[in-house]
Amino acid sequence: MPGRFRYFNWTMFVAMIALIATGTMAIWSSGNARAESVFHDMWIANLVTAIFGLAAYFALAFADYRKLLSWAAVPSYAAALVMLTVVLLVGSKVYGGRRWLWFFQPSEISKLCIICLLAKLFGGEPRRTFGWFVAGCALIALPVGLILLEPDLGTALTLIPATLLMLFVARVWRRGLLTLLAIGSIAVFAVLGAVYEAEKPGVTAQRSETILKWVPLKAHQVRRVRVFLFPEEDITGAGYNLRQAKISIGSGGFSGKGIGKGESNHLKYLPQAISMNDFIFCVYAEETGFIGTLLLLAMFGALLIPGAWTAVVAADGCGRLLAIGVSTLVFAHVWINIAMSIGLVPITGLPLPFISSGRTFLVTVMSGLGLIQSVSMHGRENKNELVRMA
Amino acid sequence: MNRDESIVSDLSCWATMVVFIVGLVVLAVNLKEVQIDAAPDYNYEKARQSVRRVQTAGPRGRILDRRGRVLADNRRCVSIVCNAAHFKKKTWDETTRAIIDEIDEIGEILGRSTRLTERSIRRHVNQALAIPLVAWRDVTDEELAKFSERDRLYPGFSVVESEERYYPFGSLAAHLIGYVGHDRSSGNAGDEKFNFSEMELYGRSGLELYYNGFLRGVPGEKKLLVDARGFTVKEWLVAEAARGPDLNLAIDADIQRVVEDQLKGVRGACVVMDPRDGSVLAFASSPSYDLNDFVPSLPHEVYNMYLNDPAKPLLNRASGGAYAPGSTFKPITALAGLAMGYPADEQYDCSGEFTLGTLKLHCARRWGHGPISVRTALKVSCNTFFCNLGCDIGTNAVISAARTFGLGSKTGIDFTDDRAGLVPDDAWKRATYGERWYPGDLAQMSIGQGMLLVSPLQMAVVAGAIGTGYLVTPHIKAGEVSVRRPLPYKKRHLDVVREGMRLVVAGGSGERGGEGVDVPVCGKTGTAEYGSASRRKKNTWFIAYAPAEKPRAAVALIVEDGESGGATAAPRVAQILKRIFNAR
């Protein structure tokens, strides 16, 4: 269908290629600082993965998402549940989490599967009843619960806003969603308040313990919240990562230290285990400065805004939901990752799309963008008819 | 199709887009705060954690005598140092272990084990990891050759050069020059803005201490970039250290050598001064020691040996000693009398002893000098005359004359030891002994005995002042301007004393003080008794100036436990004056 190529969204595509290039550079730079040679070639691995990602991207882009959803949404969701269960049983343990199955992380792929299922279920016809609300929540909760068991809080944190937003824009019993949102906000503030009360200066250990008993967080999570609330304290212990992240980003200044010359990374002040993954933004920000970070935000903007625009111009509910779901997922990753690096939100382990080194995640994000491209290319039929009719 | 019936409204899609834009703008604004507004703070933080400032030491200035001969020099000092950056291991213990192992291996190659202990290595790793650890200081050429053969096996060790103090004349003027030490152990910064200071030589005594600030090398600065564990990654020079300026002394090494030869084998001291401007030409204390023994630091055994030696070699007798001046004080008593109006020709009758109540003071001549005037009294050093004179003019006159000559107070010399000595008076005696001042004390003081204490340096200043009529502040550094105060005595009074002192050498008690000297010498002997009545000991003095008319040299020499001033001290002074005035 050569006519379809008319609606290929070049902005989104070019932004994606630019982000892949930027990410490869950042991975090269951050890997070079490591002593182990295996990290020196990580950028090549990233490029190779990107080629696979591009294959998936074009395959999904040129397929009609409606046909795809109709036959693949349910089986892929089921497969995701199976993989998430299997990984809990036999997955390999890395940094305290059971996330890996052979060479990939099921939790990453399952994000797309959930979004596809929700798009299929709620995009076709209005399902605004309480029953569908419960069903939707259950379908989200099942995989999210399994992911939280790994545990992978970061993935869960990005998946929840993306999927709930899908339900919300599909008008699935909005009263319930708003209530959920309210309860969630109150819970977040309650937890923050409790940790503040327990950890503020001058509180006795006993009182602190009594308060924390009621907080449904693990010890390391309480520590992260405490660092978020009191970033100046304990800068050699729990607050070390955040402080070093901010020093790295801040010392980049306006124009940066130059690519490959980031001192925080080379001198190993940034935690080495995550400087290539969750904290890669700090490496990038120090080397390219404010110009570089602004450019990066612009690239994400050039990716996400057309993503939302695709929803605007898509004719059917499935296409709109798919575009909104995938772009919101990417946006959540971008926003939380950068925000945690500068202390706007507590530190959470999650990758920055395209920039962090992570193969499953890269292929997942590119596949998702392929789906949006498919919506852009195939989703305008009804609208064209409308225009023709008018 | 009606838009309102769409499952997902346009508004929702637009709202999503707005959320994205707002989210990205929020990030941009916060990033601007961190990267633009707070960038200086974070750069400072980064520098504080990753940059170490090191103060480097410059070579110390040399010490030269008045003819440019080097008394204190620097020599090359080769050290083998360990750079911890080559011993990066998972734990600090492993790093320390690896360093110790290699140090032990190299120690066997050199045939000399390091002076470092396991504890000091551990401390270095903990506190001063970024800077090199000196494992062997001052290695010999032979040791260096042994190390160089295998240095490829030990990339963590390198050879560095520094400068070490060296005293070409060994013990010459040892008390004067003083010695240096490594005052600061490396690693502890003396200056707060530096994290580390290189080991620097620091004056510990004598001129090395007094002029430490002058001689000290101009420190330089080096910056080290350290990684998160503190290992040095890179270093760069900020300012090169520079050599300190040379210190030129008024001392003449030739005269100094003659002086020290004259003091060889005895305990004593001698100061030679140019009375015109206060330049100290020689400054010696005996016994002495070799300054090179103190480099890099004096071994404990040697130090203890010096400390327990009854001759007290570490004591600087020339300006730090305190002795009774004995008869060398008599010229001062004479001047006090003349200034009070005592006629120069008036005579006292010397019967051989002076009695005052129960006090009996013998004269040098047991049977007495008979009627005697002031010139002759000086010539023969008659005790009776000066006791009588002192008692006639009174305590205040004698004390004030002593103080006029600077006794009892510091000379103001540019040196670490400048002992004031003691001119006792009623108040002092009451405070110290709870007794009043008796006429007997006055009689004793008039002949330089009793509680009066002076240093040889002070007496050199006194001799010079009598010769020139001016009291000068002595100085050791060349070119220093001295304070010259005219003595408050009439020239004719001074001339009487000068004539008396000329007579001392011309056939008097200090006849041997001018022996063989080509210019006329004026002098005064002194034999100060001390110790208990059963074991009387004598400190023998000779003070002199020459030539008699326009003095260019003033000398004070003391030999502890000598025979007499005339027999022990005077001939030694003559040898010194010969070296100064006789054509070679």
User: pLDDT digits over B284-296, tens only?
Assistant: 999 999 998 888 7
Contact criterion met (CB below 8 Å) for B535 and B243: no
Token representation of residue B17: 């887009």
Of B7, B34, B229, the CB nearest to A170: B7
- Which residue has tokens 């070409």? B168
Q: Chain B neighbours among A 151-180 (CB < 8 Å)?
A: 165, 168-171
Does A384 have pLDDT greater than 70? no
Using alpha carbons only, how large is chain A's radius of gyration in Å?
A: 22
Q: Is B70 helix (H, G, I), strand (E, B) or coil?
A: strand
pLDDT of residue B367: 86
Residues of chain B with pLDDT under 50: 1-4, 185-189
A contacts of B225 (beta carbons < 8 Å) = 263, 267
CB A268 to CB B227 under 8 A?
A: yes
Q: Nearest by CB to A344, which of B12, B17, B30?
A: B30
What pLDDT shows up at residue B187? 43
User: What confidence score (pLDDT) does residue A235 get?
Assistant: 78
Question: How do strand B247-248 and strand B63-64 relate by DSSP bridges?
Answer: parallel
* Residue B219 preceded by cis peptide, ω within 30: no
- Check whether the bond before A143 is cis (ω within 30° of 0): no
Query: Torsion angle of alpha carbons B507, B511, B517, B518, nearest 10°?
Result: -10
- Tell me the per-residue pLDDT of A258-304, one tens digit each, with 9 for 90 and over: 888 888 888 888 887 788 889 999 999 999 999 999 999 999 999 99
> A 243-302 residues with CB below 8 A of B?
246-247, 249-254, 263-264, 266-269, 285, 289-290, 293-294, 297, 300-301
pLDDT, tens digit (0-9, with 9 covering 90-100), for B205-221: 999 999 999 999 888 89
Measure Cα distances from B202 to A149, B294, B504, B583 in Å. 66, 12, 46, 41
Which of these ranges, A229-243, A355-369, B17-31, has the smallest mean pLDDT? A229-243
| Residues in chain B within 8 Å Cβ distance of A312 | 10, 13-14, 17
Specify the pLDDT at position B1: 41
List of chain A residues whose C-beta atoms are within 8 Å of the C-beta of residue B30:
339, 342, 344
pLDDT of amino acid B183: 60
Asked if the Cβ–Cβ distance from A268 to B41 is below 8 Å, we say no
Residue pair B247/B62 in contact (Cβ under 8 Å)? The answer is yes
* Phi and psi torsions of B62, nearest 5°: -90, 170
pLDDT above 70 coverage of chain A, percent? 95
Residue B354 · residue B338 · CB < 8 Å? no
The verdict on A306 touching B (C-beta cutoff 8 Å) is: no
Q: Is the pTM of this model over 0.80?
A: no
Find residues 11-50 of chain A whose CB sits inside 8 Å of chain B.
none
Task: Compute the count of residue pairs across chains A and B with CB atoms less than 8 Å apart.
Answer: 145
User: How far A303 CA sits from the closest chain B CA (Å)?
Assistant: 10
Closest chain A residue by Cα to residue B10:
A312
Angstrom distance (rounded) from CA A295 to CA A285: 11
Closest chain B residue to A262, measured at CA = B46
Inter-residue contact B271 to B555 (CB < 8 Å): yes
Cβ distance B27 to A339 less than 8 Å, yes or no, reads: yes
In the block, tokens 């404990």 appear at B300
Q: Which of A360, A261, A386 is nearest to A50 (CA)?
A: A360
- Considering only CB atoms, which chain A residues are within 8 Å of B12? 168-169, 320, 324
Residue B84 Cα, gap to closest chain A Cα (Å): 16
pLDDT attached to residue B3: 43
Interface touch A165/B225, C-beta < 8 Å: no
What is the DSSP secondary structure assignment for residue A7, as one 8-state letter? G
Do residues B39 and A254 touch, judged by C-beta distance below 8 A?
yes
Asked if A290 and B7 come within 8 Å (Cβ–Cβ), the reply is no
Query: For the CA atoms of chain B, what is the radius of gyration?
Result: 36
Q: CB–CB of B85/B225 below 8 Å?
A: no
Residue A371 has, within 13 A of its CA and on its CB side, a CA count of 31
Alpha carbon separation from B330 to B367, B386, B424, B445, B559 (Å, rounded)? 21, 7, 16, 9, 19
> Nearest-CA neighbor of B316 among B211, B176, B473?
B176
Structure tokens belonging to residue B371: 């009627």
Condensed to tens digits (0 to 9), the pLDDT of residues A75-128 reads: 999 999 999 999 888 877 776 667 777 778 888 899 999 999 999 999 888 888
Distance from CA of B87 to the nearest CA of A (A): 14
Q: Which amino acid is at A277?
A: N
Conformational region of residue A173, where left means phi above 0, alpha means psi within -120 to 50, and beta covers everything else: left
Of residues A290, A328, A339, nearest to B35 (C-beta): A290
> Residue B469, SS3?
coil
Contacts of B21 in chain A (CB under 8 A): 301, 305
- Whether the link from the prior residue into B296 is cis, omega within 30° of 0, is yes
Q: How far apart are CA B123 and CA B119, in angstroms?
A: 6
B522 three-state secondary structure:
strand
Q: Which of A253, A307, A321 lies nearest to residue B8, judging by beta carbons?
A: A321
User: Which pLDDT score is estimated for A3?
Assistant: 62
Contacts of B16 in chain A (CB under 8 A): 165, 169, 308, 311, 324, 327-328
Tell me if B258 sits within 8 A of B264, measured CB to CB: no
C-alpha distances in angstroms, A235 versus A244, A265, A268, A366? 9, 18, 16, 37
A344 with B31: Cβ contact below 8 A: no
> Would you tell me how many other CB atoms lie within 10 Å of the CB of residue B328?
30
Q: Which residues of chain B have a Cβ shorter than 8 Å from any chain A Cβ?
A: 1, 6-10, 12-14, 16-17, 19-21, 23-24, 27-28, 30-32, 34-36, 38-39, 41-43, 45-46, 49-50, 225-229, 233
Which residues, including other chains, have CB under 8 Å from residue B92's CB and lie 6 or more apart? B125, B126
Q: Give the pLDDT confidence score for residue B189 in this predicted structure.
A: 44
Check: CB of residue A99 under 8 Å from CB of residue A105. yes
The two three-digit tokens of residue B182, written as one number: 């490594």
Q: Which residue from A minimizes the CA distance to B36?
A: A253
Overall size of chain B counted in residues: 584
Three-state DSSP state, B159: strand
Residue A162 burial class via C-beta count within 10 angstroms: exposed 0-12, middle 13-18, buried 19 and up: buried
Q: First vs last Cα of chain A: how many Å apart?
A: 25
Q: Name the nearest CA neighbour of A80 among A155, A28, A191.
A: A155
Computed from CA positions of residues B32, B37, B41, B43, in that sequence, does the dihedral angle turn out positive or negative? positive
Contacting residues of A for B8, CB less than 8 Å apart: 123, 169-170, 311, 317, 320-321, 324
Amino acid (1-letter code) at residue A158: T
The tokens describing B450, both together, are: 């009793």
